[in-house]
Structure 1
Amino acid sequence: MDKQRKYEALVRAYHRDLFRYAYWLCKDKSIAEDLVQETCLRAWKSLDSLQDEKAAKSWLITILRRENARRFERKQFDLVDIDDFGNEAKVSDDPHHQQEWLQAQIMKLDVEYREPLFLQVVGGFSGEEIGDILDLNKNTVMTRLFRARNQLKDMMESSASPRGQQNG
């Protein structure tokens, strides 16, 4: 397959995943689109370095992560706190509110736990693939995933306990 067709096939296959990951990283649609464009440009320039097409998705995600890091090297951004969803004890039964609450809790995790969890749950990557993307060994990845889930579980239990006390 020639370079142009190989590139087009990669972009077609992974553009949606790249955008979803970019948006998760920056929470801004236009910045996410820019990150994906920069990723695609770098992928085109270094397409010959992709040896195993089965590793294309993790290769592209790695490029995107590096592009995101370059974004911070080039420009200083104002840091903004994540929106506080109010009293966490008031978690609604509405699925939309539950999803918002869960996303807020995930964003409270340290990045070392948040990123592997996102890559596994949303990206569908295995522990080994996450290790390749984040340049960590598989055991470290699995430990971080375990800790991330435990922290989320603790957050859920602590937000549920005030509701349970009100009912009893």
Structure 2
Amino acid sequence: MFGNKKSHGQVLIDMAQKQQRYEALVHVYHKELYRFAYWLCHDPHIADDLVQETFLRAWRSLDALLDQKAAKSWLLTILRRENARRFERKQFDYSDVEQNDLVDQQCHSLDDEMEQTVIQRQIAQLSAEYKEPLLLQVVMGCSGEEIAQILDLNKNTVMTRLYRARNQLKEALSRNDGQLKGASK
């Protein structure tokens, strides 16, 4: 009836191996994916949903991941597409309160927290073409080649966008710093 018959035992072994691969992916990449998802959407609940949906899609197509070294890029690509689908479905959840504070387990001084908030807001104001490569590099620790693969761009384009993103961020932060110094006089 079917061309390739597997024994019941072999099917169980294959499923166990798939489950082990999947659990390893979740264990290694869950925190990083959540951090990136949070940077994309600024909402912990949506970030959780994005990560869950990413891992669900990863489970369904785990057999397509042939090179374990490409797992991070593969998962980030799935997460980015899932985030894009969120807008296609137009399920906007507007809130009167901004949720800019990601709870961090470490204790920071008030100055550090304020500085981090300013940087996060400035990064959020960058256009998507500059923000995404910067976040992939800074938050996810991706190389230029990995970013190029994830965003389906030429590596030189990625490096140019990273350079411009850093420059725009630097200019915005120096303007912001100048405004703060002017206000404190």
- Whether 1:101 and 2:118 are equivalent positions in the alignment is yes
Question: Which residue identity does 2:92 align to in structure 1?
Answer: F
1:161 alignment partner in structure 2:
178
125, 147, 154: which one aligns with 2:164: 147
Identity of aligned residues (%): 63
TM-score scaled by structure 2?
A: 0.78
Instruction: State the alpha-carbon separation in 2 of the partners of residues 167 and 7 from structure 1.
Output: 53
- Please give the alpha-carbon distance, in whole angstroms, between the structure 2 residues aligned to 1:166 and 1:19: 37
Aligned to 2:130: 113
Q: Deviations over 1:104-152 (max 9, x none)?
A: 1111111110110011011000001001111111001000000011111
- Mean Cα deviation higher: 106-115 or 74-83: 74-83
**What RMSD, in angstroms, separates the aligned Cα atoms of the two structures?**
2.4
Task: Give me the whole-angstrom Cα distance separating, in 1, the residues matched to 2:126 and 2:94.
Answer: 16
Shift of 1:160: 3.1
Measured in 2, the distance between the counterparts of 1:97 and 1:164 equals 15
Q: Give the Cα separation in 2 of the matches to 1:74 and 1:160.
A: 39
Contact map agreement 1:18 1:36 (CA 8 A) in 2? yes
SS of equivalent to 1:94: helix
Task: Report the secondary structure of 2:172's partner residue.
Answer: helix
Q: How many angstroms apart in 2 are the aligned matches of 1:18 and 1:163? A: 34
1:161 deviates by: 3.3
The corresponding residue for 2:65 is: 50
1:78 offset after TM fit, Å?
6.0
The CA deviation at 1:37 is 1.1
Cα pair distance change 1:49/1:161, threshold 3 Å: same
Q: TM-score, normalised by structure 1?
A: 0.85
Which residues of structure 1 form unaligned runs of 5+?
84-92
**Offset, 1:27:** 1.2
Q: 1-side partners of 2:157 and 2:94: how far apart? A: 29
Q: Distance in 1 between matches of 2:85 and 2:171?
A: 34
The CA deviation at 1:158 is 2.0
**Partner residue in 1 for 2:38:** 23
Q: Tell me if the contact between 1:82 and 1:104 (Cα under 8 Å) persists in the aligned partners.
A: no
Tell me, in whole angstroms, the C-alpha distance in 2 between the residues paired with 1:80 and 1:137: 37
Gaps of 5+ in 2: 1-13, 99-109
Aligned residue pairs: how many? 160
Q: Which has the larger radius of gyration?
A: 2
1:125 aligns with 2:142: yes
Change (3 A) 1:159 1:133: same
Match of 1:77, SS?
A: coil
Query: 1:79 deviation in Å?
Result: 6.5
